[in-house]
Structure 1
């Protein structure tokens, strides 16, 4: 089995910052802009609570404000 990993930051969440449902992940490009790279699966309540303790709201304008994200592969619903 081959496994490839990379580092990412939690750029946003669905749900609320105190009870996240999914994590939207990003990485900084060479210019320092936060770029969306993917999302997590739906978090269990316990996982959401554990992650919520580590989250903070953005301190400035968020680079993804106004973006629409797909709810999942093959779905038309947006997040």
Structure 2
């Protein structure tokens, strides 16, 4: 349930930033794109941080590496289209 609230907060934050920071013509398109990206990245970043904190304790480095690679792919994808 906590991740759902983080996804909602990321969507609202992304929509607000996309609408306020984009240029005159593509405001709605950029706002929708950033809303979906924020809904994915905010919970994923929180999961990554908690996994990085817990990794030395439980030695789940494969999970941490998978999440870090997923975040890197999402960041690369977001930079490619903006």
TM-score class, shorter-chain normalisation, is under 0.3
Q: Which has the higher strand share?
A: 1
Which protein, 1 or 2, shows the higher relative CO under an 8 Å CA cutoff with sep ≥ 6?
Answer: 2
TM-score under structure 1 normalisation? 0.20
TM-score under structure 2 normalisation? 0.19
Q: Which has the higher helix share?
A: 2
